[in-house]
Structure 1
């Protein structure tokens, strides 16, 4: 479906505003999509009584197009016309985010599920609001747990790459040291021979020697870091053993 340019620009501004609103990474965001202000007020008011209230973003059905999945964690949809509901759910499906649909009491949840099997549908019967809050809260907690797990996995991969690079540098330290020893030795031999080099050549050779000395100092620092890490690892193992023994004793 091709959107009018004005509506497309409006959606771009809406997505930008939603991204800007997500300043607290620890607080999830729920997107409420409805054409009925009373429905949105009811959901918002009920959520305000919860201990862990998410950030809320309100949107009408006609703006529910080209949604950015990074701007929300959960969508709550209700009080839309049948055509608007179908359009909103189709727009939400590519985001991969969980969707809760609060359908009217006289509507057929089964028909909605058949057309949109990934949506969770609740009929607005007695107690529906409490049920919606329970399902939404559990869904957001699960989303946060998944997000933390993915973040930890990314951090672990980054640390693993850095550790691999560090191990490689430590393993190559002796080879580089041998090469530097050769560079330093030959440069010193050339420098002690009087008249063997022009002033320019001598200056350039001194630069080579000085840079080799600096590289040697850096490699020596690597050796020091390796020793420090070894001491820290032994201390961590010792502390863990002490805590384990204390736990067994208790």
Structure 2
């Protein structure tokens, strides 16, 4: 599981302190980074999962939010100016806005926790899709190798047979050619062993599948009798 990362931007020390202290009381605490609006680099947001924008003095909240639009981070804005909050909501419909009033820390933690949970769920879904795609590719490759194993075995048998015939005539080959044929012979034997293993694995998998299906049917019948 990838640790969540949260960036807190605020020019009020008390805001960052209160939010950090409240978060420390939770069971799961993400990696927190605290910066002022002067230190925050709008050209390099840093790839945080979540950005919490608190009260800022010099920078305009809108300019910071606009800089975050190109980044993947979810932005939570906490402010006390009702008109400014309404303007931000109108300009950025996807922005999560929380009034800076009693209980604001609890509200921020709840919203942030849910946002991070959804981000992690999205990551897991993406990982599952990648794994499924990789598995489908491996399955296709496995089926192809099983389908071609007879042709490969026939080709290897032919190579081995010709190599054996050549090795039985020592006077017809130079020392270098003889060593090369021995190498071909050895590699052909190894390839033959590998494909034989594929065949045995296919048989084992079919047997396991039959046993699993039989167990499932037995369990279903047992449940039916009990009911």
Whether the 8 Å CA contact 1:122–1:132 is kept in 2: the answer is yes
Which residue number in structure 1 is paired with residue 158 of structure 2? 182
Quick one: structure 1 residues 239 and 140, their matched pair in 2 at CA, closer, same or farther if it must change by over 3 Å?
Answer: farther
The answer to whether the aligner puts 1:92 opposite 2:88 as a matched pair is no
Q: 2:46 aligns with which of 60, 65, 68?
A: 68
Quote the offset at 1:247 in angstroms: 5.6
> Does residue 151 of structure 1 match 2:133?
no
CA displacement at 1:118 relative to structure 2: 2.5
| 3-state SS of 1:94 partner | coil
Structure 1 residues 48, 240: CA separation in 2 closer, same or farther (over 3 Å shift)?
farther
Residues 68-217 of structure 1 mapped to structure 2, 5 A cutoff: 68-69=46-47, 72-81=48-57, 83-193=59-169, 195-217=171-193
Q: Match for 2:33 among 57, 62, 65?
A: 57
Distance 1:126 1:108 in 2: 19
Q: How many residues align?
A: 224
Q: TM-score, normalised by structure 2?
A: 0.87
- Provide the rounded CA distance (Å) in 2 between the counterparts of 1:119 and 1:223: 57
Q: Which residue of 1 aligns with 2:211?
A: 235
SS of equivalent to 1:75: strand
Give unpaired runs (5+ residues) of structure 1. Answer: 1-24
Q: CA RMSD in A?
A: 2.3
| Residues 125 and 246 of structure 1, relative CA distance in 2, 3 Å threshold | farther
Which runs of 5 or more structure 2 residues have no equivalent in the other structure?
Answer: none
8 Å Cα contact 1:64-1:91 kept in structure 2: no
Shift of 1:242: 4.6
Deviations for 1:135-177, whole angstroms, at most 9, x for unmatched residues? Answer: 2221111111111111111111111111211221111111111
**Paired residue for 1:38, among 2, 9, 14?**
14
- What SS does the corresponding residue of 2:205 show, helix, strand or coil? helix
Distance 1:247 1:81, change over 3 A: farther
- Cα distance in 2 between the residues matched to 1:93 and 1:243: 54
